[in-house]
Amino acid sequence: MSAQQREFRVTPDEAESRLDAFVAARAGISRAAAAKLISAGSVLVDGRATTKSSSRVGVGMRVAVSLPEAQDAAPQPEDIPIPIVFEDDHLLVVSKPAGLVVHPAPGHSSGTLVNALLARVGAGPAGGDTDRPGIVHRLDAGTSGLMIVAKDEATHAALTEALAARAITRIYLALVEGTPDTDTATIDAPIGRSPRDRKKMDVVAGGRPAVTEVTVLERLPATTLVEARPITGRTHQIRVHLKAAGHPVAGDRVYGHNRKLAAALGLARPFLHAARLSFEHPSTGTHIELEDPLPPDLQAALEAARALG
């Protein structure tokens, strides 16, 4: 069977990942299979073959992989309504609903944000990888809120560089368990795969640098409403950092779930919402600031938290 060539570009939140881990995640194969491809010379980094699985990838690098078996076809358009908060000829900003996966991946070949955007009339997402066109940054499936999507390669490249340079500000609202000791805090703790559960992330020695700024907005009987600003962009960063600080996100079943509290608040997912976004438009230079109010389920949970005795 002839090999299929696929190419991926490294995003800011993937920078400094091991090559075998990056290839495994992007190609939807096991890490062992990725290592075999690398050792066989079937992986090119910026056009050059490498046989070192432990080498690190950097932002913007292009990684080409020759896969021996046919992979999933390119994502197809699907009629899924998505709220648009901002749009022009170069980019759009969506309000991603909770429960919606951002792009196709093993186990989620359809029903994603990318599938929805491809079905839109007019220019759809473009730039970056063919399996995640236009995607500049991601939100966890259970997280709602603002996301930037590019419509062309130049805009995608510029926004990716801006994200890596920390020139895009993202502010999240989170309801956390308990009461923090201080009104402001900077959590500076490296994040990597949990040694106890490889499906989870954790604060680990030797992990990738990660920084989150946290500000208390409202102290409630059993919870606290906080504003979280991720300075870096690691997988599950806010959720992992808040758990490490002793105040996990309410309703988070992966990182410190308090079932009794979640039930009292009516939470079926983590109380985490990408509420504000600001950046400089890469084509016009205009400063764009956008806000997205809490969706009904989180607003209802907040009201329930305020009513707790």
**Cβ(228)–Cβ(174) under 8 Å?**
yes
Each residue's pLDDT tens digit, 99-114:
998 887 765 668 889 8
Query: Could you write out the three-class secondary structure of 27-79?
Result: HCCCHHHHHHHHHCCCEEECCEECCCCCCECCCCCEEEEEECCCCCCCCCCCC
Which of 52-66, 119-133, 291-305 is most confident? 291-305
Asked whether the predicted pLDDT for residue 17 surpasses 70, the reply is yes
Same domain membership, residue 194 and residue 295: yes
Tokens of residue 37, six digits? 């491809």
- What is the percentage of the chain residues whose pLDDT exceeds 90? 65
| End-of-domain residue from the set 141, 164, 187 | 164
- One DSSP character per residue, 149-195 reads EESSHHHHHHHHHHHHTT-SEEEEEEEEES--SSSEEEEE--EEE-S
Predicted pLDDT at 69: 55
Same domain, 300 and 182: yes
Which of 140, 252, 292, 297 is flagged as catalytic?
Answer: 140
- CATH number of the domain to which 57 belongs: 3.10.290.10
Whether residue 114 is found in the same domain as residue 226: no
Mean pLDDT value of segment 118-144: 84
Domain end (from 144, 164, 184): 164
Straight-line distance from the first to the last Cα atom of the chain, in angstroms, rounded to the nearest whole number:
65
Co-location of 93 and 177 in the same domain = no
* pLDDT surpasses 80 at 120: no
Per-residue pLDDT at 250: 98
- Domain endpoint, select from 117, 135, 164: 164
Residue 8 in domain: yes
Q: How far is CA 57 from CA 21, 60, 61, 215, 305, in A?
A: 10, 9, 7, 33, 43
pLDDT value of residue 93: 96
Taking residues 70-96, report their average pLDDT: 85
**β 91-96/84-87 pair status:** antiparallel
Residue 140 annotated in active site: yes
Greater confidence, 30 or 215? 215
- pLDDT score for 89: 93
Rounded percentage of the chain residues whose pLDDT exceeds 70 = 94
Domain assignment present for residue 174? The answer is: yes
Counted domains in the chain: 3
Residue 39 resides in a domain: yes
Cα of 196 vs its chain's centroid, Å: 22
Please give the radius of gyration of the chain, using alpha carbons only, rounded to the nearest integer: 20
DSSP 8-state secondary structure symbol assigned to residue 99? T
Q: What is the pLDDT of residue 1?
A: 38
- The C-alpha angle with vertex 193 and arms to 102 and 52, in degrees rounded to 5, equals 95
**Cβ neighbours of residue 121 closer than 8 Å, sequence gap 6 or more:** none
* 12 and 45 assigned to the same domain: yes
Helix 19-27, helix 31-39: angle, nearest 10: 120
What is the pTM assigned to this prediction? Answer: 0.79
Q: What is the pLDDT of residues 158-203, one digit of tens each?
A: 999 999 999 999 999 999 999 999 999 999 999 998 888 878 999 9
Q: Give the CATH number, domain containing residue 132.
A: 3.30.2350.10
Count Cα neighbours of 69 within 13 Å in the Cβ-side half-sphere.
Answer: 6
Structural domain harbouring 93:
84-164
Assess if residue 197 is contained within a domain: yes
What is the per-residue pLDDT for 77?
Answer: 82
Query: Looking at residues 247-262, what average pLDDT do you find?
Result: 94
Q: How do residues 40-82 score in pLDDT, each as one tens digit?
A: 889 999 988 888 999 999 999 999 998 875 445 567 888 888 9
Residue range 262-281: mean pLDDT, rounded: 97
One domain, residues 144 and 184 = no
Q: Are residue 122 and residue 230 in the same domain, yes or no?
A: no
Query: Would you state the pLDDT for residue 27?
Result: 83
Q: Are residues 185 and 247 in the same domain?
A: yes
Tell me the pLDDT of the chain averaged across its residues: 90
Check residue 28 and give its pLDDT: 77
Q: Are residues 190 and 296 in the same domain?
A: yes
- Distance CA(286)–CA(107), nearest Å, equals 39
Residues 173 and 293 in one domain: yes
Q: Which residue has the tokens 């980019």?
A: 91
pLDDT of residue 16: 86
To the nearest 10°, the Cα dihedral for 296, 225, 275, 135? -100
Distance from C-alpha of 40 to C-alpha of 196, rounded to nearest angstrom: 31
